[in-house]
């Protein structure tokens, strides 16, 4: 079979066998079609996987690094990594089917600089919450959203899918299905539980979504019951608004609150493995991005033992 045909088979397998969401599949399609586009003239238009060699990989990486879009923009190192991750997944798929091709382990990822983690200290979260009015339905909703993001470390994609019956407010916990269709427990603090209860008390609808968009243009009837569900962009705007009011100069996003959840746990003595489980990270190396900002004891060591610290 030709490489392009097998790429389509791989994308179908991602959907059916691996349960990947449509956005991930579309990203993989883009990356692998670009791989095919940048390599066909090096082999032939209908080349087979057996023709993917270390030399072809080398030339592909060079072209990927020099690639420019119609605006003359090049691909970042991180975006190049995503292309190579997709290619590695495709080669693994071929190997599982017994199709001769390049060993996926030969696809090394470029070294990237670790991104600086932006998080809020607990007092900054409190400042954020203090700016939210509690005399309107929208204010009560916004407080419940921010309390829950900080309390549970949810991804914004997980938050917007929640329904009223998703959360057991008596047990202060629920299960969410995150990336890779993996379930993990979410624990709800007393303040977050109270905020959600206060919000639901003023709701006079029977819609299933836990958090609703209150904009007037969202009032049209829709049989799906999801016509007023908030979007990730809506959550982003809500958080940006209160961060600005609180005078927080950091760029605060829904993911900042997830970072804040993790760093708060680690700063208070939680072990890395437990935080990994609470965040739903499949690899602990992902969780380790927080360790350089959570070693609170290092300041004590510096104060006690550095010659100029007295």
Is the sign of the CA dihedral 26, 29, 31, 37 positive or negative?
A: negative
Residue 115 appears among annotated catalytic residues: no
Task: Answer whether 175's CB lies under 8 Å from 181's CB.
Answer: no
Distance CA 217, CA 25 (A): 31
Distance CA 210, CA 162 (A): 6
Residue 258 appears among annotated catalytic residues: yes
Round to the nearest angstrom and report the end-to-end CA distance of the chain: 72
CA angle 134, 141, 261 (to 5 degrees): 100
Task: Answer whether 74's CB lies under 8 Å from 66's CB.
Answer: yes
Q: Beta partners for 176?
A: 184
Pick left, alpha or beta for residue 153 (phi over 0 → left; psi -120 to 50 → alpha; otherwise beta): left
Residue 114 appears among annotated catalytic residues: no
Distance CA 104, CA 83 (A): 13
Active-site residue, selected from the candidate residues 20, 61, 258, 259 = 258
Active-site residue, selected from the candidate residues 155, 229, 242, 259 = 155
Active-site residue, selected from the candidate residues 172, 179, 184, 203 = 179
Q: Which of 143, 182, 151 is nearest to 167 (CA)?
A: 151
Residue 229 DSSP class: B
Q: Which of 189, 174, 79 is nearest to 143 (CA)?
A: 189
Residue 290 appears among annotated catalytic residues: yes
Residue 281 appears among annotated catalytic residues: yes
Catalytic residues: 155, 179, 255, 258, 281, 290
């Amino acid at each position: 079979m030709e490489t392009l045909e097998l790429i389509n088979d791989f994308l179908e397998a991602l959907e059916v066998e691996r349960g990947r969401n449509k956005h991930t599949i579309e990203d993989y399609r883009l990356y692998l079609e670009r791989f095919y586009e940048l390599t066909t003239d090096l082999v032939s238009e209908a080349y087979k996987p057996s023709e993917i060699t270390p030399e072809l990989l080398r030339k592909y990486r060079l072209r990927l690094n020099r690639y420019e879009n119609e605006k003359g923009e090049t691909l970042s190192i991180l975006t190049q990594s995503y292309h190579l991750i997709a290619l590695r997944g495709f080669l693994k798929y071929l190997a599982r089917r017994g199709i001769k091709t390049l060993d996926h382990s030969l696809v090394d990822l470029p070294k990237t600089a670790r991104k600086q983690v932006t998080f809020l200290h607990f007092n900054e979260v409190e400042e954020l919450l203090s700016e939210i009015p509690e005399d309107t339905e929208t204010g009560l909703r916004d407080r419940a959203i921010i309390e829950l993001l900080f309390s549970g470390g949810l991804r914004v994609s997980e938050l917007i899918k929640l329904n009223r019956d998703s959360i057991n407010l008596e047990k202060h916990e629920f299960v969410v299905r995150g990336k890779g269709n993996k379930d993990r427990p979410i624990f709800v603090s007393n303040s977050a539980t109270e905020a959600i209860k206060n919000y639901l008390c003023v709701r006079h609808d029977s819609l299933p979504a836990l958090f609703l968009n209150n904009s007037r243009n969202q009032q049209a009837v829709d049989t799906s019951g999801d016509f007023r569900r908030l979007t990730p962009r809506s959550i982003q705007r809500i958080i940006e608004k209160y961060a600005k009011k609180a005078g927080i100069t950091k760029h605060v996003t829904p993911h900042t609150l997830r970072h804040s959840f993790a760093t708060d746990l680690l700063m208070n003595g939680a072990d890395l493995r437990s935080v990994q489980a609470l965040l739903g990270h499949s690899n602990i190396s992902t969780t380790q991005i927080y360790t350089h900002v959570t070693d609170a004891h290092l300041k004590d060591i510096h104060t006690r033992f550095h010659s100029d610290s007295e």
